[in-house]
């Protein structure tokens, strides 16, 4: 019996790892479409966000799938002698991000302020220094990056991995915790509201960048989405804003026109970090406030029931002034 359970567990974990490896390889395609020289490094790398989300959802046993998927990706992007070290560095960065988040008690609901801050500063900006540093060194060893372009390549790599964690991980965690079995209860009006907000935001952000070269139009929109829908609105809107900005930075138009590659990557990192931090922190703060209010209302209801029972026990068959006032308030 125990052997059967062990084999079943091994099969489940193995299947999950294969799924993770396949998803990493599949999500690398969009990242490879948008890349910059030197080194053909993408400023937005979704596989990193997928890997961190897989670890948060299924645990540390997903590291073989992450390593396998990273090796498969690096076959197309990295010199052969440094494929395995580069993939190992990416896996190590994701594992460290997972460890750091677990250490601070991270919750996948992302409904607390500390969770949002931990994801931004520990998982994205902190842990991804590992993969960007080792990966760029490996490219230097492989001859793809030179000493003169090392800093630009390193910053682009760091930006890409950090953006993958900031944008893809929250979106996947959101999709995972959605009660899909209850989809028939989704209100059509609310779905239309959020769809209109996302479509309108895409058009407004794109128009602002193309016509006026401004990025700040995204901030009131992300605030509105976070206030109205919390993470369900902030996460997809942040992805939309990032997509427009990444395209502008790679093509060097709008706000990014006339700047060198390092300057564009720095501006891209600052904007994307700011937009994600705004959306995550605000949505987490509102979710935390709503949860506190519900807990207070529940506690008040329990206290009212307790007082009523005590009053009935102490004065059976009669109603005190407190009970009469309470019944009167309920009647109103």
pLDDT, tens digit (0-9, with 9 covering 90-100), for 238-258: 888 888 888 888 788 888 888
Angle separating helix axes 2-33 and 63-77, nearest 10 degrees: 30
d(CA 50, CA 167): 10
Per-residue model confidence (pLDDT) at position 33 = 72
Cβ atoms within 10 Å of 302's Cβ, excluding its own: 10
- Per-residue exposure over 60-78, b if at least 16 CB sit within 10 Å of its own CB, e if not: eebbbbbbbbbbbbbeebb
Architecture of domain 1-177: Orthogonal Bundle (1.10)
The residue among 89, 87, 69 whose CA lies nearest residue 79 is: 87
DSSP 276-314: HHHHHHHHHHHHHHHHHHHHHHHHHHHHHHHHHHHHHHH
Angle separating helix axes 63-77 and 46-58, nearest 10 degrees: 170
pLDDT, tens digit (0-9, with 9 covering 90-100), for 98-134: 999 999 999 998 888 889 889 999 999 999 999 999 9
pLDDT, tens digit (0-9, with 9 covering 90-100), for 17-75: 999 999 999 998 877 777 666 667 888 899 999 999 999 999 999 999 999 999 999 88
Locate the domains of the chain by residue range: 1-177, 183-332
d(CA 170, CA 44): 15
Q: Which residue has the higher pLDDT, 178 or 234?
A: 234
Residue 178 pLDDT more than 70? no
Residue partners of 139: CB distance under 8 A and separation at least 6: 39, 78, 79, 82, 86, 145, 153
Q: Which residue has the higher pLDDT, 263 or 130?
A: 130
The residue among 284, 3, 269 whose CA lies nearest residue 161 is: 269
Inter-residue contact 284 to 113 (CB < 8 Å): yes
d(CA 11, CA 302): 47
Residue partners of 91: CB distance under 8 A and separation at least 6: 51, 63, 66, 67, 70
Alpha-carbon radius of gyration of the chain: 25
């Amino acid at each position: 019996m125990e052997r059967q359970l062990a084999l079943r567990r091994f099969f489940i974990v193995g299947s999950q790892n294969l799924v993770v490896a396949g998803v990493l390889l599949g999500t690398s395609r969009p990242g490879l479409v948008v890349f910059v020289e030197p080194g053909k490094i993408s400023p937005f790398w979704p596989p990193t966000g997928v890997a961190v989300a897989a670890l948060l959802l299924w645990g540390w046993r997903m590291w073989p799938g992450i390593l396998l998927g990273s090796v498969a990706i690096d076959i197309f992007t990295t010199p052969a002698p440094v494929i395995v070290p580069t993939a190992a560095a990416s896996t190590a960065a994701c594992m460290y991000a997972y460890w750091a988040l677990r250490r601070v008690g991270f919750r996948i609901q992302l409904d607390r302020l500390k969770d949002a801050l931990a994801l931004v500063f520990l998982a994205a900006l902190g842990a991804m220094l590992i993969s960007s540093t080792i990966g760029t060194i490996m490219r230097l060893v492989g001859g793809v990056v030179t000493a003169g372009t090392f800093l630009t390549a390193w910053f682009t790599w760091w930006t890409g991995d950090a953006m993958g964690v900031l944008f893809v991980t929250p979106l996947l965690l959101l999709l995972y915790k959605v009660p899909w079995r209850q989809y028939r209860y989704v209100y059509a009006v609310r779905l239309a509201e959020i769809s209109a907000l996302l479509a309108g935001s895409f058009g407004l952000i794109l128009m602002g960048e193309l016509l006026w070269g401004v990025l700040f139009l995204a901030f009131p929109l992300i605030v509105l989405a976070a206030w109205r829908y919390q993470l369900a609105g902030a996460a997809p809107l942040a992805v939309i804003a990032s997509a427009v900005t990444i395209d502008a930075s790679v093509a060097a138009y709008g706000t990014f026109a006339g700047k060198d590659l390092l300057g564009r990557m720095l501006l891209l990192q600052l904007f994307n970090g700011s937009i994600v931090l705004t959306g995550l922190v605000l949505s987490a703060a509102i979710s935390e406030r709503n949860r506190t209010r519900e807990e207070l209302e529940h506690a008040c209801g329990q206290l009212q029931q307790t007082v009523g029972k005590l009053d009935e026990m102490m004065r059976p068959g009669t109603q005190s002034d407190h009970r009469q006032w309470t019944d009167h308030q309920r009647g109103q």
